[in-house]
Each structure stands twice: as C-alpha cells, then as structure tokens.
C-alpha cells in the first residue's frame, strides 16, 4: 500500500488519473486516522461528536473550579475562571481544542512540581475528564479525533500496517506534531517515507513559469525579455461573480478543446449552474448553506419557549417553505400577525379556530397547533425546564425523519435536520442542570447548527475536474482556473502558549506547533495552484462575490510587482476593449449593449370619469387629510373604494402600530 498524504486531501483531490490505481490512496489527517483504525482493528467510533465532548469538558472544568473555590488557600482560582463565568460553552470549546493539541503532541498530562500553572490546570482537569469519557456506555461516542489518534499511535508501534511507502506533499518540518510522530514511528519500522518537493510545472521561458520560480525561489528578478504575449497567465476581472460565471461558461462552450481544472474555494453552485445552462455536464458540486428552510427551523424553534414573544421569529417560522405546521394554519397565523403582532388576541382566536373548525382540516393540524402555541412560556431573563427544550427538538427530529420518508426519501437535507436535532437533544440530556437559560440554549443550538452539504445533481461523464482547497492539487494541470481568487485570511492566530510552557513541554519531549510553522504551511498551500499549472493559469477576480464587496487575493500584488507588463495580463469583462483583446486569445461571446433611455420621473395621475363615486365621509382624521393632500390616489382607493394593499406577511412597523393605536384611542374617546 502507498499512501499519499496532504493537509487538504480529506476532500476532493486532483490526481490527474482517470481511475484510481490499485494500492494507492490519497488521504488527509482524518482519512489517515480512519485507515489506521481499519488496519489495526480499532474502528467503530462515532464521528462529529464534539458537542458531547464539549459538554463533558465543561462539566470537568466546572468541577475543578468548584474544588478551587472551596479551598482558596490551597489552590488558586484557575486561569479560565473569569471567561468561564461569562460563557461556559465557548470557554469549554476553546480549552478542549488546547487540550487536544497537547494530547496530539504527545503530552501525558502527568503532574510535575515544576510545571507552569496553566499546564497544572490542564493536568487536573484531564483526570476528571478521562473519568467521564471512560464510561463504557458513552465511550464510543465521546472519543474524539485527538483521543482516537493517540490510541492509534500507541498500537502503530507494533501493530500490523500493510504500508510500503508514505508520500508527504508538504515538508515534514511543517506537518502537525501528530503527523511528525506518525512519520517517526514509520521510520523506526523501516517503512519508506518520502517528500514530494514542490516544483515548477510550467516552462521557464513563459510568464507563468517565471511567476512560479519567483514564488518558489523568492524574489528572483523577472527577465525583461519575457514573452509578454504567451497567454500562460491571465487575470479576468468582473464587477460581479455572476457576470464572470456567465462569460466563463459561454467561453468554455465555444472552446471545445479547453478542459480546465477548477479551483472553487466555496461550496456554491453559481458556476456549475451557468456551465449546465450552456449544455455541458454537471460537475456534481455540493452546496452548503445555512439559509435552507429545513435548517432555519433549528434556530427558530426556541422562540416558542420564551416570553415576551419574539414576533419576528414566529413570523419567520410561519412563513418557512417547509415547517412542522399545517400550511393553511401557518398562513392564517402569519396574516394575523402581520396586521396585529402578538399572540392570543381576539383576531387571533377568530382566525385560528375558524380555520381549525373546518371539517377538511386534518387532526394533525390541531395537534401541531397545540404543540407549538398551547404551551407554557418562561421569562427570557430567567430559566426554563430542560425537559421542555428536549421535547421541542425530539419533536423536530421525529418530524424531519417522517417528512423525509413521506416525500420519497430524496431530500437529504431533512436527514441532516433530524441528525442535528438529535445532537441538540442529546446535548441537552447530558446537561447536569435541570433548567436552562435563554443564552445557554442559544449557545447550544449555535454549537450544533451547521450547513448541510447537498448535491442537487450527480457528477456526469466528461465533466470538468475541480477541487475546493488550494492544497488539494496533487498533480499538475494543463489549464487551471482559479474561481473567485479572493483574499482569505489565513494569518495564524498569536501564540497561545507561553515561553515557560513551551520550555517545560520540550523537556518532556513534546514539541507544539508554532505560528511561524502554521504561516509557512498556509503560504505553501496558497502557492500550490500556481505551481501546479503546467500551461495556463486563469484567475477569476470579481469585485463582488455573493452580493458583497470582495478583496482580491494577495497573489495579485505579487504578480503586479513581478511583471512590468501587468496591465497586459488583466482583462476586464465589463470593458468592451478588453473583451475584444481577450477574444484574440480565447473565444469570447459578443455582447450587444442595451441603450439607456432616460425618462422623466413618473407622476401619479388620477382621472375620474364618474365624479359621483366620491362619497362624503362623516369625519376625516389628520392622517386621512394628509393622504388626501399629498397622495390623492391613495386616499381615493382606500377611503372611497375601500381598496387596501394585500398583506405581504411582514410585521407592521412600530410607527404604524403606534399610529393605529392612537387613531383608535381618539376615535373611541
């Protein structure tokens, strides 16, 4: 077996192979762990259980903090006391990541008289935490990535590994400490480990080749006699990413022989949709979004537990495309709340029970109304029983699974909803407290709430190859298109470990990753797309992406500094001259500008053929008179013809509500 290891190889990897070669696998850290567990007979652990680990670590931190508070003279308060009091879940999640880093680096958490104070806290908490995760009933669920990898490394020293060679696609010195430990184990077992050194794929005489050598060998001057028109490096600018997607898809349709490899940083279907519209095969890109109605239910459901009622969340819940509430009933509720925000008014009962008393309304609608609206609510500044929150998410889990089965078992986003609702329920059940506050419930939901990747169309034959991460390019590509080549903040965080802590751990043989190593690794990963382009590199740089202003990738600054003819490499899709210039390189579809015809501002006009329609009113309010003077057409339609605009199912503004209450008060006084 030959393993090809890369930091970004856990997802889609481009290998330049039409089919996988027998005995070779491209894996990242998580796939490596799964492969080792299968070979050593240690598989069977559940994935994505960090929510339970965070809760157990929070309990261990709270227990240790309580012990310190009971013995202030013997044990000072731990360093996390203030942050734990402000946000227990966030503090537990952060320190659990620190603990995992120490465990993966090889620390045994043994107490020592000379250890720094913060490490002493980690060692004490580790004892409490291991007691919790050693429970046989939950051990399979709460063993996370770090615990599993540490156990695997212990067995890998003497266990059977059918491995001939490990190929590293990043230098060993830049790998995470746990990977360096694994490499040392392989060397002790005389298993071959080689590094795939980064190199230049393009010809040295081309513009792309000179850029590769400048990036790889650092600041090598560019030859003034470089081929300025070899078209090996192209930068396409556009005002919007949608414009760039349309132009690129049309260009690929006309350039039949062009088969580029795409680097698509985000899980977005914009580019694929344009490619499919031009008659080319589906690429099979996953779409991940938090805006799906099926996932919106997770964060809107707690609104039914608290008072005062958040009418905006209730309205959003009622107007979702898919929800655990009868469609007709939710429409009636939304209509009432749009005009008179609030629950349980006279209009509310008239609309709701008028609908529920109809004979054709199913019994399930009445049960749904009783579950969501006929429940006890608790003050938002207080606490609510944990069992009520558990009941809500258990209901959502069952509804999502039933909906998935009743609708042909095709929409997998409802399986994701059921899974995330189950996780929230399990996390609530793991809480030792019997009551929960508003902020704690919101924190728990946000901990579990994640986008669900969905594949709307499977990948088809003759599709374009693509990857999502720069480091996932494991082989050179003739033509590489970097879609949305925008700035990504990959700057590592400041060093969280203090100098005495690093010195103590190094004496124990534990070497932690440094921000410098992390920064160098990120830089190498960002350079990978440029280095792996063999003949042509096309950078797509829009000014706006997903409707917001975007910042170009820092690579453009390096290109501008390297080449004095940088302007010749840049083509604006919004400029007619640049489009004509680019058409000489690759066929660009022609555009026909639409003439702009400025017109005068429209003025409201009202022609009455029957003046007798104007009826005398018994009284006019100040607002009605204002409408008559400034907007006579509105006054006529509302006051005379009794025609009102339809409700858009949005909550009426505060000023309008106050004005309506004032009018009602003055009319009745």
Q: Would you say residue 433 has pLDDT above 80?
A: yes
Q: Three-state SS for 571?
A: strand
CA dist 320 and 294 (Å) reads 9
- Under DSSP, is residue 514 helix (H, G, I), strand (E, B) or coil? coil
Adjacent-strand bridge partners of 467: 263
pLDDT higher for 299 or 607? 299
Instruction: Please write down the HEC assignment for all residues of 61-91.
Output: HHHHHHHHHHCCCCCCCCCCHHHHHHCHHHH
Greatest mean pLDDT among 157-161, 533-537, 643-647: 533-537
Burial pattern 367-395, b for ≥16 Cβ within 10 A else e, equals ebbebbbeeebbeeeeebebebbbbbbbb
- What is the C-alpha end-to-end distance of the chain, expressed in Å? 89
On the question of pLDDT at 363 being above 90, the answer is no
Averaged pLDDT, 184-211: 90
pLDDT of residue 290: 59
Q: What is the mean pLDDT of residues 102-130?
A: 93
Rounded distance between C-alpha atoms, residue 272 and residue 285, angstroms: 7
Residue from 253, 276, 244, 251 nearest 540 by CA: 244
Give me the pLDDT at residue 175, please.
Answer: 93
Both tokens of 317, joined, read 């819940």
Instruction: Look at residue 155 and tell me whether its pLDDT is greater than 70.
Output: yes
Q: Measure CA 182 to chain center.
A: 31
Task: Give the chain's radius of gyration (CA, Å).
Answer: 32
- Percentage of the chain beyond pLDDT 70 is 90
At 617 the pLDDT is: 60
pLDDT per residue over 553-594, tens digit each? 999 998 988 888 888 899 998 888 888 888 888 887 777 777
DSSP 303: G
Bigger pLDDT: 214 or 449? Answer: 214
Phi, psi of 265 (to 5 degrees): -65, -30
Give 211-223 pLDDT, tens digit per residue.
998 888 766 666 6
Q: What is the pTM of this model?
A: 0.82
What's 454's DSSP letter? B
Of 227-236, 398-407, 500-509, give the range with the top mean pLDDT: 500-509
Element (H, E) at 168: strand 165-168
| Burial profile 154-186: b = 16 or more Cβ within 10 angstroms, e = fewer | ebbeeeebebeebbbbbeeebbbbbbbbbbebb
For residues 273-280, average pLDDT: 91
Phi, psi of 446 (to 5 degrees): -70, -30
pLDDT of residue 226: 46
For residues 654 and 644, give the distance between their C-alpha atoms in angstroms, rounded to a whole number: 19
Instruction: Give phi and psi for 653, each to the nearest 5.
Output: -65, 160
Q: Assess whether the previous peptide bond of 308 is cis (omega < 30° from 0).
A: yes
Which is higher by pLDDT, 386 or 637? Answer: 386
Answer whether residue 227 shows pLDDT above 50: no
Tokens of 221: 């001057």
User: pLDDT tens digit string along 497-544?
Assistant: 999 999 999 999 999 999 999 999 999 999 999 999 999 999 999 999
**Predicted pLDDT of residue 276:** 92
Window from 5-19, 585-599, 637-651 with minimum mean pLDDT? 637-651
DSSP class of 639 = I
For residue 112, what are its two tokens?
């020592």
400 burial level (CB within 10 Å; 0-12, 13-18, 19+): buried
Q: What is the phi/psi pair of residue 384, to 5°?
A: -125, 155
Could you tell me the pLDDT band of residue 321, with boundaries at 50, 70 and 90? confident
- Looking at per-residue pLDDT, the higher value among 125 and 416 belongs to 125
Averaged pLDDT for residues 449-463? 78
Which stretches of 590-635 are DSSP H helices?
Answer: 622-630, 632-635
Domain formed by 207-286+457-583, architecture: 3-Layer(aba) Sandwich (3.40)
For Cα atoms 585, 583, 484, give the angle at the middle one, nearest 5 degrees.
Answer: 80
- On whether the CB atoms of residues 374 and 344 are closer than 8 A, the answer is no
The average pLDDT across 477-492 equals 90
Q: Is the pLDDT of residue 613 over 60?
A: no
pLDDT at 225 over 60: no
Q: In the structure, what pLDDT confidence band is assigned to residue 248 with cuts at 50, 70 and 90?
A: very high
pLDDT band, residue 291 (cuts 50/70/90)? low
Find the farthest-apart pair of alpha carbons in the chain and give their distance in angstroms, rounded: 103
Residue 195 pLDDT > 60, yes or no? Answer: yes
Mean pLDDT score across all residues of the chain = 86
d(CA 271, CA 264): 9
pLDDT at 410 over 90: no
User: Alpha helices, DSSP H only, in 74-201?
Assistant: 81-86, 88-105, 117-133, 139-142, 145-156, 177-188
Domain ranges in the chain are 2-45+149-195, 50-143, 207-286+457-583, 297-303+377-454, 310-375, 611-668
* Cα within 13 Å of Cα(80), Cβ side: 26
Q: Residue 38, class by beta-carbon neighbours within 10 Å (0-12 exposed, 13-18 middle, 19+ buried)?
A: exposed
Characterize the bridge pairing of strands 165-168 and 192-195.
Answer: parallel
**pLDDT at residue 137 is higher than 70:** yes
Between helix 177-188 and helix 29-40 the angle, nearest 10°, is 40
The pLDDT value given to residue 603: 67
Long-range contacts of 152-157 (CB under 8 A, 24+ apart): 152/33, 152/36, 152/37, 152/40, 152/42, 153/178, 153/181, 153/182, 153/185, 155/40, 155/42, 156/36, 156/40, 156/182, 156/185, 157/185, 157/188, 157/189
pLDDT at residue 365 tops 70? yes
Q: pLDDT band for position 469 (50/70/90)?
A: very high
pLDDT band at 618 (very low <50, low <70, confident <90, very high): low
């Amino acid at each position: 077996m030959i393993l090809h290891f890369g930091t970004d190889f856990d997802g889609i990897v481009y290998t330049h192979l039409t089919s996988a070669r027998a005995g070779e696998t491209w894996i990242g850290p998580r796939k490596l762990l799964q492969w080792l567990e299968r070979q050593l007979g240690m598989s069977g652990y559940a994935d994505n259980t960090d929510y339970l680990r965070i809760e157990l670590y929070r309990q261990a931190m709270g227990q240790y903090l309580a012990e310190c508070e009971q013995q202030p003279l013997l044990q000072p308060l731990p360093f996390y006391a203030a942050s734990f009091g402000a946000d227990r879940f966030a503090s537990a999640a952060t320190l659990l990541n620190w603990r995992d880093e120490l465990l993966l680096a090889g620390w045994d958490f043994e107490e020592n008289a000379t250890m720094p104070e913060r490490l002493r806290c980690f060692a004490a908490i580790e004892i409490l935490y291991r007691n919790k995760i050693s429970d046989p009933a939950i051990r399979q669920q709460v063993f996370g990535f770090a615990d599993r990898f540490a156990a695997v490394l212990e067995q890998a020293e003497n266990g059977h590994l059918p491995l001939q060679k490990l190929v590293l696609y990043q230098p060993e010195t830049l790998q995470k400490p746990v990977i360096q430990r694994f490499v040392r184990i392989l060397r002790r077992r005389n298993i071959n480990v080689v590094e795939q050194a980064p190199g230049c794929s393009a010809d040295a005489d081309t513009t792309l080749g000179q850029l590769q050598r400048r990036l790889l060998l650092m600041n090598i001057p560019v030859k003034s006699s470089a081929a300025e028109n070899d078209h090996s490096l192209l930068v396409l600018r556009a005002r919007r990413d949608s414009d760039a997607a349309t132009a690129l898809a049309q260009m690929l349709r006309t350039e039949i022989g062009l088969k580029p490899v795409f680097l698509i940083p985000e899980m977005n279907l914009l580019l694929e949709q344009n490619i499919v519209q031009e008659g080319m095969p589906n690429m099979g890109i996953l779409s991940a979004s938090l805006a799906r109605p099926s996932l919106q239910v997770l964060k809107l459901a707690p609104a039914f537990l608290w008072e005062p009622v958040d009418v905006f969340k209730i309205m959003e819940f009622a107007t979702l495309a898919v929800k655990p509430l009868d469609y007709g009933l939710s429409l009636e509720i939304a209509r009432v709340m749009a005009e008179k925000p609030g629950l349980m008014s006279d209009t509310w009962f008239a609309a709701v029970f008028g609908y529920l008393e109809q004979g054709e309304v199913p019994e399930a609608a009445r049960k749904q109304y009783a579950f969501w609206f006929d429940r006890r609510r608790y003050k938002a500044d207080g606490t609510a029983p944990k069992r009520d929150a558990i009941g809500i998410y258990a209901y959502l889990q069952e509804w999502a699974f039933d909906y998935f089965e009743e609708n042909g078992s095709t929409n997998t986003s409802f399986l994701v909803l059921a899974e995330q609702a189950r996780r929230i329920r399990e996390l609530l059940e793991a809480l030792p407290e019997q009551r929960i506050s508003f902020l704690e419930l919101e924190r728990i939901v946000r901990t579990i709430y994640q986008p669900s990747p969905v594949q709307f169309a499977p990948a088809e034959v003759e599709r374009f190859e693509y990857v999502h991460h720069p480091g996932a390019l494991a082989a050179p590509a003739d033509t590489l298109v970097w879609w949305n080549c925008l700035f990504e903040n990959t700057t590592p965080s400041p060093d969280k470990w203090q100098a005495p802590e690093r010195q103590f751990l190094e004496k124990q043989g534990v070497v932690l990753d440094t921000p410098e190593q992390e920064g160098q690794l990120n830089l190498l990963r960002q350079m990978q797309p440029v280095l792996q382009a063999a003949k042509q590199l096309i950078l797509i740089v829009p000014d706006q992406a997903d409707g917001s202003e975007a910042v170009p990738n820092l690579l453009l600054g390096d290109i501008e500094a390297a080449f004095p003819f940088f302007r010749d490499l840049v083509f604006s899709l919004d400029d007619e001259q640049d489009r004509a210039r680019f058409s000489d390189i690759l066929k660009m579809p022609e555009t026909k500008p639409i003439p702009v015809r400025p017109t005068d501002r429209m003025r409201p006009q009202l022609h009455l053929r029957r003046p007798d329609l104007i009826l005398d009113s018994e009284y006019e309010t100040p607002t009605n008179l204002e409408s008559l003077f400034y907007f006579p057409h509105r006054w006529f339609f509302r006051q005379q013809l009794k025609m009102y605009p339809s409700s858009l199912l949005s909550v009426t503004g505060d000023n309008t509500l106050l004005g309506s209450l004032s009018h009602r008060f003055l009319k009745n006084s």
